[in-house]
Amino acid sequence: MFQILTNFIELEKPDEHIDWNGTTEHRQARDKMDELYNWWHNTYLKFDAWEDFDETKKSDPLFKDGQFNINDYEKEFFDKVNQEEEEMRQELTRRCKELIDIQYYLWT
Question: What pLDDT band is residue 91 in, cutting at 50, 70 and 90?
Answer: very high
**Closest residue by Cα to residue 40 from 1, 86, 2, 14:** 2
Q: How many whole angstroms separate alpha carbon 21 and alpha carbon 30? A: 9
Length of the chain, please? 108
Q: How many whole angstroms separate alpha carbon 9 and alpha carbon 82? A: 33
Question: What pLDDT band is residue 101 in, cutting at 50, 70 and 90?
Answer: very high
Q: What is the pTM of this model?
A: 0.86
For 55-90, how does the pLDDT look when each residue is reduced to its tens digit (9 = 90+)? 899 888 777 788 888 899 999 999 999 999 999 999
Q: Which residues lie closer than 8 Å to 84 by C-beta, 6 or more apart?
A: 49
Q: What is the DSSP letter of 104?
A: G
For 49-60, how does the pLDDT look when each residue is reduced to its tens digit (9 = 90+)? 999 999 899 888
